Chains A and B, each alone.
Chain A
Amino acid sequence: QIQLVQSGPEVKKPGESVKISCKASGYTFTQAGMQWLKQAQGKSLKWMGWINTNTGKTTYAADFTGRFVFSLETSASTAYLQITNLKNEDMATYFCARARYGWFAYWGQGTLVTVSS
């Protein structure tokens, strides 16, 4: 069965960086792009963008340019989200998800990033 397993919770200070992993299994990794979403505590979801797992091409939503980087380790069926120069407003749960046709049928379990001095 298709599974997306994310790395564990992170606690970081403002200005630090964090790298979250998302390991896919149960399907051919390059069959579908990997999407990233953000959910602050008690809030709705925000789509951050996606990475084409065939070509590595990235697409970022307007609010997630500059400090956010999607990357791949295709041999390990793993996608990564790196956030640099962390700010308080980056504190949230981050999800990877698979969306072949626009809707998100498969989700990772989420990674909580806490930003605190």
Chain B
Amino acid sequence: DIQMTQSPASLSASLGETVTIECRASEDIYNGLAWYQQKPGKSPQLLIYNANSLHTGVPSRFSGSGSGTQYSLKINSLQSEDVASYFCQQYYDYPYTFGAGTKLELK
């Protein structure tokens, strides 16, 4: 199975700040990577697919980048509604696997 190592596990940032979350795959996943946002008690919401494609309706302050085994999610100009947990997921190979998550809080 492809292991997804996500960092940091938690993150505290101020409104307006830029934050970056990283995900490292145990092997090359050829941009087969998605990012999700999950708020407490809700289902995950797709933000990014194919490593850098913004899902419909997702604010442009979210962006994804990376290649090979290293990927990142950047949130520009942090808003209060961005407080949530974030997960990466690889879909290059079965079984689909997720990172352990990053909990983003406001400072």
Q: Tell me how many residues of B have a C-beta within 8 Å of chain A.
A: 23
**A: number of interface residues (CB 8 Å):** 20
A76: chain B residues at CB < 8 Å are none
Does the CB pair B101–A44 fall under 8 Å? Answer: yes
Given contacts A44-B99, A44-B101, A104-B36, contact A99 B43 (CB under 8 A): no
Q: What is the bound-complex CA distance between A89 and B88, given in angstroms?
A: 24
Assess A62 versus B98: contact at CB under 8 Å? Given A103-B34, A104-B36, A105-B46: no
Q: Are A45 and B98 in contact (CB under 8 A)?
A: yes
Please indicate the chain B residues that have their CB under 8 angstroms from the CB of A109 in the complex: 42-43
Q: Residue-by-residue, is B42-66 near A (CB-CB < 8 Å gives 1, otherwise 0)?
A: 1111100110000100000000000
Residues facing A in B47-99 (CB within 8 A) are 49-50, 55, 87, 89, 91-92, 94-99
Residues in B lying within 8 Å of A, measured CB to CB: 32, 34, 36, 42-46, 49-50, 55, 87, 89, 91-92, 94-101
Chain A interface residues toward B at CB < 8 A = 43-47, 49, 59, 61-62, 95, 99, 101-105, 107-110
